[in-house]
Amino acid sequence: MDYRFSGDGLSIRDVGMVYRRDDQVTTALVGCSLEIPVGSWASLIGASGCGKSTLLRILADIVAPTTGAARVGGLSPSEARAMRSFALVSQQSTMLPWRTILANVELGLEVAGVDKAERRRRAAEAIELVGLKGFEQAFPAELSGGMRQRAAIARALTLKPRFLLMDEPFGALDEITREKLNFELLRILKETAATLLLVTHSIAEAIILSDVVAVMSPRPGRISHRVEIGFGHDRTAAMRDDPRFVAYEAELRHALHGPPTASRPATELSFA
């Protein structure tokens, strides 16, 4: 089928994914479609195994869909990868333990063949942007998990990607660190004007970091519900106290788990 795409954002059209191993067939995705305009932020949430990460991997040109098509900035995922239009940040902040943070952040540029002076300059800029200035010569083992994750984001930003694909980037962190990095990421997104697609299991994180949250059904995954988040891009921690935040949480929870059922009255117990 010839899919016609409009716009320069992230586009997923009627994507399906079937995995086959010997005689076993697993349908991971069915008929998934999503449009994320340039400069906007979106999240995918859903139960484990629903295909959230698979959709992200399709956009990142790691796997090809069985049916349907995807575009990144108007390009196929493979073309976008060749143009370094996007960066992928995963849950594991993979750092080479024998390299300093500065050298780790430079790594993508080094692989891309950027000269030493330019990659040092861009790495230093990215390190300052994520709040790690002063830790350039530290080694990964000397930093906390949150700081290593910041370094992973800095490494992604050195490539100046138009699109940032993030797969549970803060999932292994404690709640306090996670929320702090959520708002750090908001600042970075505003400064870089990058388009974000985030995979997360956290409803609150999805609301904080999104203009739209797409809810996926259990496998075979499909996008079953969309919630527009009306906070604009000037967000602070005070949004957590806004009544709209509570309403968005309730809507997303109901979309994931169904509406709450009336509880039965407690049965009186008597003891002899």
Greatest mean pLDDT range, 15-24, 163-172, 224-233: 224-233
Number of domains in the chain: 2
Task: Give the pLDDT score at 267.
Answer: 45
Q: How many helices (H) and strands (E) does the chain have?
A: 8, 9
Mean pLDDT of the chain: 88
**Is 12 found in the same domain as 146?**
no
Same domain for 180 and 74? yes
Out of 1-5, 6-10, 18-22, 180-184, pick the least confident: 1-5
42 and 143 belong to one structural domain: no
Q: What is the pLDDT of residue 260?
A: 65
Whether residue 77 is found in the same domain as residue 190: yes
Mean pLDDT of the 104-110 span: 90
Residue 101 DSSP SS3 = helix
Q: Is residue 170 part of a domain?
A: yes
pLDDT confidence bin for 130, thresholds 50/70/90: confident
> What range does the domain containing 133 cover?
93-160
- Please indicate, yes or no, whether residues 9 and 120 belong to a single structural domain of this protein: no
Q: Examine the fold and report which residue of 108, 142, 160 is the final residue of a domain before the chain moves on.
A: 160
Q: pTM for the complete prediction?
A: 0.87
Q: Is 56 exposed, middle or buried, given 0-12, 13-18 or 19+ CB atoms closer than 10 A?
A: buried
CATH number at residue 62: 3.40.50.300
Residues 17 and 68 in one domain: yes
Whether the CB-CB separation of 155 and 90 falls below 8 Å is answered with: no
Give a yes or no: residue 203 inside a domain: yes
